[in-house]
Each structure stands twice: as C-alpha cells, then as structure tokens.
Structure 1
Amino acid sequence: MFGFVSLVYNAAQLIGWSAILGLVILELVNGTEKTGQIVWLVQVMQISQTYDLISNIVGLTSGSLISNVLQLGGRLVVALLFMYEGVCFCCLINAVIAWSLAEIIRFSYYLFKNNSLFKTLRYNAFMVLYPVGILGELRTVNQSLAVYGDIQIRGLQTILILGGFFMYAQMLNAKSKHSKQTAVDQKQNVKQRSNSPVNRPKRE
C-alpha cells in the first residue's frame, strides 16, 4: 500500500513542479511577469511535501530528518510568508526555477532509479541549483523589509544561509557515497564478466 501511495505522490510532485516551471517559462516568454498563479501552486506543492517529513518521522522512508526539516521548513516559511502576488518577479523566479528543477530531478530519480541520467543529475545538479535557490530565497525575503523589519529579515536570511550550507554539505556527502558505491558496483560487474563461462579461455 505504501509503495503505491509513494508512487502516486512522486508522480504528482513531478507533474506539479513541471507545471510550475512551465508557468514561469510562459511568463518569461510573454513578458507579463504575473506571479499569482505561480505563487499559489508553489505554496500548494510545498505544503504537500509535509508527506515527505511525516514519512521520514514514522520510519517509512530513510534519510536525514534534520535535512528534511531544514529544507521543508525553510521553503515553507519563504513560500507562505514572503511569496505573494505582486512580489518582485525577478527575485521570485530565481528561487522558483531552482526549486522546480531540483524537485523535477529528485522525483524523476525516485521514479526511475535505474536511469543513469537522473542518477547523474541527482548527485551533480545540486551544486548549481542549491546556491541559485538560496540566493533567490534571500532576494525574495529581502522584498519584505518594510513589512517585517530589518532584524527579522536579516535573522531569517542568516538561518537560510546556514541551513543552505548544511544541506550543501549533506548532498556533497551523499555524492561521495554514491561515487564510491558506483565504483564498487563497476568493479563487481567487471569481475563477474571476467568469471563468466563465456569469457573464460578455452582449453585445447
């Protein structure tokens, strides 16, 4: 049952974030820079990702709980409190595009784990997308200085930066483990092929 629910959830996330990216591209092409529909869908998708956190807490999925809390918590705060219709489009799209691409890659990887392209993107694209996303979050939050005040804004930005460094370090560690495991798997495959009867030299 959980496997089916997880499959539906992963597919829904992939479709949702692809739709968000499509809306952003459409606004850029048309030059209209409307944010209302984009913001609404981003908020819906971020709220729905509490499923990830709940699954992690109850032990249905593995992974770092701290990383999940930091990523989801930071994004929820930014999306629900600082993304609204009329917010600066150029600041908003930095975060939204980075989030969308990261999630499209992540959920494609979950759905198609044997696909080498998604594996490569999963453990490499974050090196660019994470810094771009964090910069977008900082710029988006900065647009609300008049509403929340300097101390609150700078404090949140500091938390986002520190959380971003932690998340980046976590992904670097995951990338290192993935690279080591890939190397081990390749050696085993080579060894298996060399021991295969087909590859053994014939005795005259």
Structure 2
Amino acid sequence: MTKLKYKFAERVPDILLESFFIVVALLLALALDQWRDEQKGLELAKNAKSAIYAELTDNKQKLDDKIIAHEKILEAINSYIKKVDEKESNANELEFEYTMVLISSSAWNSAKMTQVVQSFSFKEITSFSQMYQMQDLYLSNQDKIIDKVMEMGELKEDELHGFAKGLSHRLAILIEINKSFSKGLESVITQSSSS
C-alpha cells in the first residue's frame, strides 16, 4: 500500500502541471472569445455610426431641397394676404402645392434598440440626440401645416383670408426650424468627416 502512495506522490507535480496548463488554456480561450465579441461590437458601432451619418446627410439634402419650394409657397400666401388686405380687384384664389419633407430616423432608432449607442462617445450621443429632437420638432410642425392644408378645401371664401394668415405664420416657423435644423446637421456631419 505504501508503494501506491509513493507513485501517486510522484505524479502530483505532473498532475498540477497539467491542471495549470488546462486552466491557462481555458483563460486564453475566454480572453480570445471576449476579444472577438469586443471586435464585433466595435464593428457594429462603426457601421451604426456610418448609417446614422448617412441618414443625417440624406435628411439634410431633403430639407435643403424643399426649403426653396416652401419659401415660394410662403411668398405666394403673403402676396395673396397683401392683395386681400389692400382690397385689390385682382386678389385671386389662393393656390399652392405643399410638398412634405420625408426624413428618416430609422438608423438612430435601430442603434438605440440594439443598444449599440452604448459604445458611442458621450459627445456623439449628445449630438445625435439633439439632431433627432430637432427633427421631431420639424416633423411635428410639418404635421400641423399638413392638417391645416387639408382643411383648405372645406373653407368658405370669406374664411380664406384668416386661414392664409395662420398658414403663413406656421410656414414661416417651419422655414426657420428648417434653417436651424439644417445648420445643426451641417455641423454634426462636418464633425464626422473631421474625426
């Protein structure tokens, strides 16, 4: 029986050495797995940022495309109001074609839903949040204008002047929001190209 204990005692250093290598191998495998997950997370964050900047750039282009059309509509409405106020005989009907600005927030919403924004810098999160809050403000005001334009067909002729004044006011606000929003987008988009 003592012979068996002796052989086991001889094997203890080998068993400890093998156990040590197994533990080291497991730790290395876990570290490698964690590193791969971090790399995937960084790649996902990079792709999400690229998608957000592309979305903001596209939204800015759509805003810039429509501001001229909206300014022309405002000019036509104000011209109509002036003619009615001055009781001009050539004060004709109020006619214009309002076109909506269709802007997106899907890239930002996707980044928030997948929680990839957690790997963005605080400055980026703040910039993106401000732009999408401004976008919500723009869309909210645009919705009010669309609601107002939809009422236009139900108006009596003597109600058109008051309607035009209200619409002129709302459209002037929307144009100012558009200008501020567009400047903000330009600033954020410029930051992306410099970083």
Give TM-score scaled by structure 2 length.
Answer: 0.41
Q: With a CA cutoff of 8 Å and minimum separation of 6, indicate the structure with the bigger relative contact order.
A: 2
Q: Which has the higher helix share?
A: 2
Give TM-score scaled by structure 1 length.
Answer: 0.40
Higher radius of gyration, 1 or 2: 2
